[in-house]
Amino acid sequence: MDSESQIIRTEYSDLMKKSYIDYAMSVIIARALPDVRDGLKPVQRRTLYDMYELGIRYDRPYRKCARIVGDTMGKYHPHGDSSIYEALVVMAQDFKKGQVLVDGHGNFGSIEGDGAAAMRYTEARLTKFTQEVCLADLDKNVIDFGPNFDETEKEPLVLPMRVPNLLVNGAEGIAVGMATSIPTHNLGEVIDAVKAYMKNSAVSTRQLMKYIKGPDFPTGGIVVNKDDLLNIYETGQGKIKIRGKVEVEELKGGKKQLVITEIPYTMIGAGIGKFLNDVAGLVESKKTTDIADISNQSSKEGIRIVLELKKGADVENLKNMLYKKTRLEDTFGVNMLAVADGRPETLRLKQIIEHHVDFQFELATRKYTTLLEKEREKSEVQEGLIKACDVIDLIIEILRGSKSVKDAKACLINGITDNITFKSPRSKKMAALLRFTERQATAILEMRLYRLIGLEIEALRREHEETLKRIARYEDILNNYDSMAGVIIEDLDRFKKEYARKRRTAIENAAEAVFEEKKIEEQEVVFLMDRFGYAKTVDVSVYERNKEAADSESRYVVHCMNTGKLCVFTDAGRMHQVRVLDLPYGRFREKGTPIDNVSNYSSSEEQIIAVYDAEQMRFAKLLFATSQGMVKRVDGTEFQVSKRTIAATKLQEGDSLTVVKVVNDSQNVVLQTKNGYFLRFHASEVPEKKKAAVGVRGIRLQKKDELENVYFFEEGTETKVPYGEKEVTLNRLKLAKRDGMGTKTR
């Protein structure tokens, strides 16, 4: 074969498209989405089956998780060990699953987000629920097996799940281009809904919801949009609003405290820490003054977050504020996506139950077909043994007269007597009439002599009668829908009785959380920022009393309103907005907070060159000047924006912003360079531009010189400024035009 014939010519985009679709489908079907029949992802299914194969049952000792993970990875799941262990851990966490599938021993993490210990330290085994509900009857040919990744083992394509695990334990997964998010439900309610569907397949979603009230999260909480649930279950998509459970406890002295005993399911993990930080933030920003102390007293017994309130606190308003401003009220996005009939599909509640019931009938059919075959084989053998007991003397004569087992078997099955010696012709004639089956003949030849005892023969007859009853029962189950449905329902009732528990999550319609934010009394304050970037605000009277120290110690002093914003301009040509309320307000000698903490400003990348009150800028014109001598005027209204950070001006390559100052047309402008060139001209010569413009040249710079400062003065006033060791009188400088070279100071 020549090399040319091995080259496949194809369009590159077609190849990429096919490869990506193959990858996407692999992620969707074989990794991220659960199967509607058992509600498990492949990694979960493989882990549970491996534990079953290793014999790590609920009534046997725990085994190291590292052993389980290693065995699963080597036999069935050729991916990272961390993904297998994470799946194992989640199946053992009672705060994530409605029914835990793995019994964990050791540190399996906490509801507050603590991770599980390493797999070499923890141990696990199957729960009784998993064995009886997820893995029962695997020996009865109820499911199909397929080859593993290297075709050295067989693995189940689905587990024989006896309850709708997809609803009971929910699911979360992110695939390619799609994601699934199914909440957990109450086992008892789900079983009742399945029974209702089996009794009437035309049942509506609304009727099913008489049994399944809504999600039942292991963390409890309250679902507050009950009316939306019908649409969610009819479409398979929607948003569930969950609130934590808040109780009010009375303390001595008329004080009260709010105690959070249940949290929204979405708050599991880092959400609890974030909630505590958010509450602390509300206190620090003075959004609420009702909270005296916050403490997290949660333990293994359950969640207990305590907010100690000040005397006379408005409890209802505070509760509503917590719902509105923190994750104490959160949204659970529902997208009931699962693999059904080999393809991903968004399923309605009724569809999930339909698929489950169809699967149960398939399991039952295969189970009772297998049992029926075994009972028929048993019956055949029993009939042969009973018949043999009736002619036992003849059979003994055949065996004694045979030269080989083959001859004896041929006689028992087909009545061939050629190679057998009989005591009488009558015996030979009777032997020729024998017609045992192959299985019966084998059983007769293997039969022990004690079976000839009278009582044993009676026991054999009774056993045969029981076998015939079982055969009749299995045939009835297989041939009669009601009989099979009755068996399935009987099992469901047994599971409900043993494993169902009371509902934890309350379902109700609650009013939208509305709270009155305490209005902050508007007042004038003074913003102070030192040369290290620490900023604060103080009362005007405090500033006046300490004016001399404040002016000398502060790099920027700005009068502003406490409800307003400050505009911070940097040499990188950016403007950062800071809410005055975000700055600490108080005593003059307090250090303050770094300006970086309350804005997007980064002191490592840029330097502050000006700070202005946003409201005062509205009525001003700002002069921008850069180190390369470019100038422009910009209307202050251009900086009335909602964004926290914007580009304040456009800079040429290698240029930086040097000065941003408020200017008016009546003033004279003096540009001063580093090398001592001064250029004086009227402010009206600087054109007004948009903030996105570069500007025009203000002064012609000499080589290796740059603009250092800009001064303003009114015509007819004497203004002196320092330069080096000298003073320069600005009004004595020659009045020139913009874009000149300026005058060198002597």
Residue-level pLDDT at 582: 85
Give residue for tokens 């709010």: 258
The CA-based angle 521-585-582, given to 5 degrees, is: 85
Q: Render pLDDT for 141-162 as a digit per residue (tens, 0 to 9).
A: 999 999 999 999 999 999 999 9
Residue-level pLDDT at 242: 96
What is the rounded average pLDDT of the residues 418-447? 86
Distance of alpha carbon 132 from alpha carbon 126, whole angstroms: 10
Distance of alpha carbon 58 from alpha carbon 55, whole angstroms: 9
Distance of alpha carbon 457 from alpha carbon 388, whole angstroms: 11
Distance of alpha carbon 134 from alpha carbon 702, whole angstroms: 85
Q: pLDDT at residue 709 above 50?
A: yes
Q: Which amino acid is at 473?
A: R
Mapped onto helix, strand or coil, the DSSP state of residue 471 is helix
**217: nearest Cα among 93, 323, 102:** 93
Distance of alpha carbon 522 from alpha carbon 165, whole angstroms: 57
**257: nearest Cα among 310, 297, 328:** 310
Helix (H) or strand (E) holding 615: helix 614-617
Structure confidence at residue 5 as a pLDDT band (50, 70, 90):
low
For the chain, percent of residues with pLDDT exceeding 90: 64
Q: pLDDT at residue 199 above 70?
A: yes
Helix (H) or strand (E) holding 609: strand 608-613
Q: pLDDT at residue 1 above 70?
A: no
Q: Render pLDDT for 30-43 as a digit per residue (tens, 0 to 9).
A: 788 999 999 999 99
Q: pLDDT at residue 425 above 60?
A: yes
Residue-level pLDDT at 711: 94
Structure confidence at residue 2 as a pLDDT band (50, 70, 90):
low
Token output for 85? 């262990």
Phi, psi values for residue 197, rounded to 5° = -65, -40
Residue-level pLDDT at 414: 87
**558, 550 contact by CB (below 8 A):** no
What is the rounded average pLDDT of the residues 426-437? 86
Strands 222-223 and 506-507: parallel
Instruction: Indicate if the alpha-carbon torsion angle 413, 416, 419, 424 is positive or negative.
Output: positive
Q: Which domains does the chain have, with CATH numbers?
A: 245-327 (3.30.1360.40), 356-498 (1.10.268.10), 524-744 (2.120.10.90)
Q: Render pLDDT for 90-114 as a digit per residue (tens, 0 to 9).
A: 999 999 998 999 999 999 999 988 8
Q: pLDDT at residue 643 above 50?
A: yes
Mean residue pLDDT of the chain comes to 91
Q: What is the DSSP string of 575-596?
A: EEEEEGGGS-BS-TTS--EEGG
Least confident segment among 208-212, 355-359, 455-459, 663-667: 455-459
Structure confidence at residue 518 as a pLDDT band (50, 70, 90):
low
For the chain, percent of residues with pLDDT exceeding 70: 98
**65: nearest Cα among 81, 41, 46:** 81
What is the rounded average pLDDT of the residues 272-300? 86
**616, 570 contact by CB (below 8 A):** no
What is the rounded average pLDDT of the residues 332-340? 95
Distance of alpha carbon 177 from alpha carbon 145, whole angstroms: 29
Q: Render pLDDT for 557-580 as a digit per residue (tens, 0 to 9).
A: 999 998 899 999 999 999 999 999
What is the rounded average pLDDT of the residues 636-664? 92
Q: Which residues contact 109 (CB under 8 A, 6 or more apart)?
A: 89, 93, 115, 116
Mapped onto helix, strand or coil, the DSSP state of residue 679 is strand
What is the rounded average pLDDT of the residues 590-613? 89
Least confident segment among 8-17, 82-91, 256-265, 605-614: 8-17
Strands 256-262 and 305-309: antiparallel
Q: Render pLDDT for 50-98 as a digit per residue (tens, 0 to 9).
A: 999 999 999 999 999 999 999 999 999 998 899 999 999 999 999 999 8
| Residues noted as catalytic | 121
Q: Render pLDDT for 455-479 as a digit per residue (tens, 0 to 9).
A: 678 888 899 999 999 999 999 999 9
Residue-level pLDDT at 262: 94
Residue-level pLDDT at 246: 93
Residue-level pLDDT at 571: 93
Q: Which amino acid is at 184?
A: T
Distance of alpha carbon 133 from alpha carbon 438, whole angstroms: 38
Least confident segment among 361-370, 392-401, 448-457, 520-529: 448-457
**Helix-strand-coil split of the chain, %, nearest 5:** 40, 25, 35
**48: nearest Cα among 122, 123, 155:** 155
**625: nearest Cα among 561, 694, 557, 681:** 694
**97, 184 contact by CB (below 8 A):** yes
Q: pLDDT at residue 384 above 60?
A: yes
What is the rounded average pLDDT of the residues 384-410? 86
Q: Which residues contact 173 (CB under 8 A, 6 or more apart)?
A: 32, 33, 34, 41, 179, 180
Q: From residue 200, how far is each of 203, 276, 482 by CA, in Å? A: 6, 49, 12
